[in-house]
Amino acid sequence: MGAVCGCCTDPVDFDGEVDLYHFDLHRAVGKGAFGKVRVVEHKKSKQLYALKYIDKAKCIKQKAVANIIQERRLLEEIDHPFIVNLRYAFQDDENCFFVLDLMLGGDLRFHLERKGRIEEGVVRFWLAELAEALNYLRKQRIIHRDLKPDNILLDAAGHAHITDFNVAIHYSERRLHTSVAGSMAYMAPEVVGRKGYTWCVDWWSLGVVMWELLFHRRPFDGRTAEKMTNSILKDPLKLPSNANDICSPECQDFVRGLLDRNPKTRLGCRSRGQGIEDIHNHPWMASIDWDQLRKKDIQPPFVPDMKKANFDVSHELDEFMMVEKPLTHSKRKANPDLEKMKPELRQMEEQFTVYDFVKNSRVSYYPHNQTIVTSINQDEDEPNTVLQSATNTLLPTATLIDRASAGSPLPELDRSHPQPMTVSNPSESRRSASRRSSPSSRPSQSAERPPRASS
C-alpha cells in the first residue's frame, strides 16, 4: 500500500499510477509557450527532477496538440547520458506533465552571453558529448531539427545534454523530409532549399552551434527569411579575421567539415553509421577518450558556478505578482466522458499516456517492417528521390522558425537573440510547445505570437 508523506496531507499511493501528488513542487526555473518548468522532488525517492507542464487550453488554442503528443512519444524511446531523458509523464484535467532529468547548469546560450565566447578546449568537450548524442538519435531514427545553444543544457558537473524534442521527428531513408521546422539560423541548406533532408541536418546545426560558441556570431546572416536562406545556400564560409588567435587549424577544419553544404560529404554523415568514425578519428578529437567520455568519467573543463542561478530568476515572480495562476495539486474528475470531450482534449486524454521509468520499459513508435533503402548518401550519379515528408508520426509539418537578427549593425551580444517568425502555409503551421524541457536562461521566444513572414 502507499506511504503517507507529511503530517497534514492525504496518503500518496506510490503503487498506483504516477501523478502530481507523488512530487513536492519547488521553484520555477524556466518558462515556455504553454507553461513553466519547475524543480520537483519525488516524495518517495527524494530525487530532484525538472517538471515541464503544458496548459491544455493554451495548447489547443495554438493548435499544438500533435506536437505535445509527438514529443511525449519520442521521449519514451530515448535514454542516453547526453540527452535530457523523460522519467515520468502524466496529466490532470488542466495540464500535461513531463518529468525530466534536472539540469541546473544552465543552457549554452546563457553561458555564451555571459562569457562572450567559449574557449576551444571547452567547445571540443561539449562537441564530443553532443556528437555521441546525435549518433544515438540517428540509430533511433530520430532527427532533432532544432539543435541550438538554447537547447543544450549543462548538468551541475558541466556535461552537455540535448533537450526540447518538440519538433523532432522519425526519419525513414525511403523518403526525404520536406517540412520546414526549427530555428532558421541553424537550418541546413537542404532544409531551407526544400531539397529534401534526413538526419544529416542535425550535424549541420551542430556546426552552426560550434561556430557560434567559438566566435560569438553565426556563420550566415540575414535580416529577412529570404536573405537568410540565400546566405545559407550561397554565401562562402568565411572564418573571422582573428580565427587563428581563437582556435587551432584542426578546430577550423572540424567546423568547416560540419558546415559542408553537401550532406553526402558532411562530417559525421557517412552512410551506414560510419560517419561517427570520422568524428572519432578527426585530429581535433585526438585527445578524447571516447569510452571514458561515454561513462562521464572525464572531468568537464568548464563547471557551472552552482552558487549562482544559471537561469533567469524572474520566472517565479509571475506567480508572486499574481500574473498567472500557480501550479497546484488537483484531483482529476472521476470517469470523464470521452464522447462529450472536444476532439483535442480527447486526443490528449487517449494519447498522452502515463509513463513511469521505474515500471515501464522504453518502447519505439517507429514503424517496423519497412524495407529501408538509402536515399541520401548514395553515389553522385544516382538521383535522390524526394517525396513529400511521410514521417509516420503525429506531426506532418512544423513551421516554427526563429529568424536571427545576425548580420545587423547591432552589437555582437544582441545578435544572439533570435526573433521568432512563422513561414510556410499557415494551415500547416504548428506552434512550438514549451521551449524548455529543463531550466532555461530566459522565457521562451515562442510564448508570444510571432509576426507573419512576408512572401
pLDDT tens string 79-134: 999 999 999 999 998 899 999 999 989 999 999 999 999 999 999 999 999 999 99
Cα–Cα distance, 189 to 185 (Å, whole number): 11
Cα–Cα distance, 266 to 338 (Å, whole number): 49
Cα–Cα distance, 230 to 222 (Å, whole number): 8
Contacts by residues 332-337 (CB-CB < 8 Å, ≥ 24 positions apart): 332/19, 332/92, 332/93, 333/93, 336/93
Is residue 342 predicted with pLDDT exceeding 70?
yes
Which amino acid is residue 61, in one-letter code? K
Which segment of 201-210, 220-229, 305-314, 340-349 scores lowest on mean pLDDT?
Answer: 305-314
Is residue 367 predicted with pLDDT exceeding 90?
no
Q: How far from the centroid of its chain's Cα atoms is residue 215's Cα?
A: 22
Q: Which residue has the higher pLDDT, 381 or 77?
A: 77
Backbone angles phi, psi at 221, to 5 degrees: -120, 160
Known binding residues are: 52
Cα–Cα distance, 208 to 206 (Å, whole number): 5
Is residue 454 predicted with pLDDT exceeding 70?
no
Known binding residues for ATP are: 52
408 grid coordinates? 545587423
Mean pLDDT of 44-61: 92
Is residue 379 predicted with pLDDT exceeding 90?
no
Q: What band does 446 get if pLDDT is binned at 50, 70 and 90?
A: very low
Whether 253 is catalytic: no
CB 408 within 8 A of CB 419: no
46 grid coordinates? 527524494
Which segment of 108-122, 136-150, 286-300, 331-345 scores lowest on mean pLDDT?
Answer: 331-345
CB 81 within 8 A of CB 135: no
CB 394 within 8 A of CB 212: no
Which segment of 10-14, 132-136, 262-266 scores lowest on mean pLDDT?
Answer: 10-14
Most confident among 165-174, 217-226, 377-386, 405-414 (mean pLDDT): 217-226
Name the average pLDDT for the chain. Answer: 78
Kindly give, in sequence order, each residue whose CB lies less than 8 Å from that of residue 192, ignoring residues fewer than 6 positions away. Answer: 180, 184, 228, 229, 232, 233
Query: Domain limits of the chain?
Result: 20-103+308-356, 115-304+369-435
> Residue 345 region, left (φ>0) first, then alpha (ψ -120 to 50), else beta?
alpha
Cα–Cα distance, 334 to 315 (Å, whole number): 33
Cα–Cα distance, 303 to 299 (Å, whole number): 9
Q: Which residue has the higher pLDDT, 282 or 380?
A: 282
Give the active site residue among 19, 55, 101, 146.
146
Q: What band does 388 get if pLDDT is binned at 50, 70 and 90?
A: very low
**pLDDT at position 323, please?**
46
CB 258 within 8 A of CB 207: yes
CB 410 within 8 A of CB 437: no
Kindly give, in sequence order, each residue whose CB lies less than 8 Å from that of residue 101, ignoring residues fewer than 6 positions away. Answer: 49, 50, 84, 85, 87, 155, 161, 438
Is residue 405 predicted with pLDDT exceeding 50?
no
**pLDDT at position 433, please?**
35
Mean pLDDT of 421-439: 36
Is residue 214 predicted with pLDDT exceeding 90?
yes
Name the DSSP class of 197.
B
Which segment of 83-97, 191-205, 267-281, 376-390 scores lowest on mean pLDDT?
Answer: 376-390
CA quadruple 75, 80, 82, 85: dihedral sign: positive
Name the DSSP class of 447.
G
Cα–Cα distance, 73 to 67 (Å, whole number): 10
Is residue 410 predicted with pLDDT exceeding 50?
no
427 grid coordinates? 494551415
Is residue 240 predicted with pLDDT exceeding 80?
yes
Is residue 213 predicted with pLDDT exceeding 50?
yes
**pLDDT at position 361, please?**
81
Mean pLDDT of 182-188: 94
**pLDDT at position 266, please?**
97
Q: For the domain made up of 20-103+308-356, give the CATH fold.
A: Phosphorylase Kinase; domain 1 (3.30.200)
**pLDDT at position 12, please?**
82
Cα–Cα distance, 184 to 453 (Å, whole number): 12
**pLDDT at position 308, please?**
79
Q: Find where cell 484531483 sits.
A: 331
Most confident among 26-30, 37-41, 335-339, 445-449 (mean pLDDT): 37-41
Kindly give, in sequence order, each residue whose CB lies less than 8 Å from that of residue 16, ignoring residues fewer than 6 positions away. Answer: 2
Just give the CATH number of 115-304+369-435. Answer: 1.10.510.10
Q: What band does 330 get if pLDDT is binned at 50, 70 and 90?
A: low
> What 3-state DSSP class applies to 392?
coil
